[in-house]
């Protein structure tokens, strides 16, 4: 009886180890491109409960614009930055964080021309040492990444797989109206 109990414990421990490795491999495959896109310092800010704010961006036109100019952001074109709205504890923020870290929500084969995109929203994830700004197009179908000191998103991609969910979420937050959702 003792011998079969030990065997059972070893079998269960082996199953637990196999399940853990399988889970880790699945999560790696589901998020490794998104993690690489956001970067090793920025991905934890997005994935974990770091503070987050949202700003509305309004195109001013013209080239250039220093990020140091008050209220202006350079994304290849000049944008006026609206007042921040705190979203850290907003309903659904955990789901948004998860969506931003999921490879299946991006079309990696469809890079966007960030300088020509009509950016409308900027999510700022930050802590005491680092920040990342996630910019979204007006139709919520294109996403780009900014980090402190960079003049415009290094990379931008289509995020069409999550566009409808983003539109519903932004509508629920009162950022857009149902009439703007196509």
The conformation of residue 8, written as its DSSP 8-state character, comes to: H
For residues 24 and 30, what is the distance between their CA atoms, to the nearest angstrom? Answer: 10
- Which residues, in sequence order, are CB contacts of 157 under 8 Å at separation 6+? 37, 106, 107, 108, 110, 111, 112, 142, 143, 144
- State the pTM of this model: 0.74
Domains of the chain: 35-180 (3.30.1490)
> Per residue of the chain (182 residues), what is the pLDDT tens digit?
467 778 877 777 777 776 776 665 555 554 567 778 788 888 888 888 889 999 898 888 655 444 445 566 666 777 888 889 998 888 888 888 888 898 888 888 877 877 778 889 999 998 888 888 888 988 888 898 886 666 666 678 888 888 888 888 888 888 877 655 55
pLDDT at 53 (0 to 100): 93
- Helices (H), strands (E): how many in the chain? 4, 9
C-alpha closest to that of 85 among 57, 59, 114, 56: 56
């Amino acid at each position: 009886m003792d011998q079969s109990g030990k065997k059972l414990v070893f079998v269960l421990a082996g199953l637990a180890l196999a399940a853990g490795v399988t889970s880790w491999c699945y999560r790696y495959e589901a998020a490794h491109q998104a993690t690489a896109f956001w970067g090793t310092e920025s991905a934890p800010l997005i994935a974990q409960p770091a503070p987050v704010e949202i700003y509305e961006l309004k195109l001013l036109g013209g080239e250039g614009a220093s990020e140091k100019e008050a209220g202006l952001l350079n994304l290849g074109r000049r944008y006026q930055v609206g007042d921040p709205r705190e979203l850290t504890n907003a309903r659904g923020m955990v789901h948004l964080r998860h969506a931003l870290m999921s490879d299946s929500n991006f079309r990696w084969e469809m890079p966007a021309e960030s300088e020509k995109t009509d950016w409308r929203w900027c999510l700022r994830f930050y802590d005491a040492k680092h920040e990342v700004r996630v910019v979204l197009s007006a139709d919520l179908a294109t996403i780009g990444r900014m980090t402190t000191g960079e003049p415009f998103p290094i990379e931008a991609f289509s995020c069409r797989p999550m566009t409808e969910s983003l539109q519903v979420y932004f509508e629920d937050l009162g950022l857009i109206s149902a009439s703007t959702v196509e």
